[in-house]
Amino acid sequence: MTDMNNSLEFILSLFDCISKLKSIRRTGWVESSVRDPESIADHSFGVVFLAAVLADLRGLDVAEVVRMAILHDLPEAVTGDLTPREKQTKIKEVEKIEEEAIRRLFKDAPREVYEKYVSAWRKFSENSTPEARLVKLVDKLEMGLQACKYMEERLDSRLIEIYDSAKNYLEEDRELLEVLKRMLKR
């Protein structure tokens, strides 16, 4: 196979992964009996968009933030959408599976692309840079904002629990916490 054919196959394998994420519904919303819950891809789009804008506002490396944000739930095409509780009970196993999924997904990419994305994944999973911390915070922010949207339709104790989980996580970033609180007041 030529380099062009390798690149084409790589792009097609990325699309296969993305397609899976479009069809996997977010577990927390399903367990909360939300009618027509968002998919992992829906959530990821929200995270990417919000994280990119916030990175610009905060003077962070937007390209790195976007890479991390698009990667943040990609392994769920392999693992499914695990709840935070499920991830916590088998954290080391999940971390290993997620990193392997990223490596496998980018194995046919040109070397510099592979290194860039695997490095971004590692920084994200280790929460080792301001960009990684922002993406992790925005992941929770988007979840909390979506809980508010679902609570407009139907108030449910499980939705309140998800909102509270996001709110507690955002305690370290007053600005993002305020965004979440304002959404609830709307």
**How many folded domains does the chain comprise?**
1
pLDDT at 77: 86
Domain enclosing residue 34, as ranges: 3-185
Q: pLDDT by residue for the chain (186 residues), tens digit each? A: 446 667 888 999 999 999 999 999 999 899 888 989 999 999 999 999 999 999 999 999 999 999 999 999 998 888 777 777 777 777 778 888 889 999 999 998 999 999 999 999 999 999 999 999 999 999 999 999 999 999 998 878 889 999 999 999 999 999 999 999 999 888
pLDDT at 154: 81
Closest by alpha carbon to 142, among 33, 32, 53?
A: 53
Tokens 């449910």 identify what position? 156
CA dihedral of residues 149, 154, 159, 163 (deg, nearest 10): 40
For 37-64, b where at least 16 C-beta lie within 10 A, e where not — what string?
Answer: bbbbbbbbbbbbebbbebbeeeebebeb
pLDDT at 2: 47
pLDDT at 89: 75
- The answer to whether residues 44 and 60 touch, using CB atoms and an 8 Å cutoff, is no
The CATH number that applies at residue 83 is 1.10.3210.10
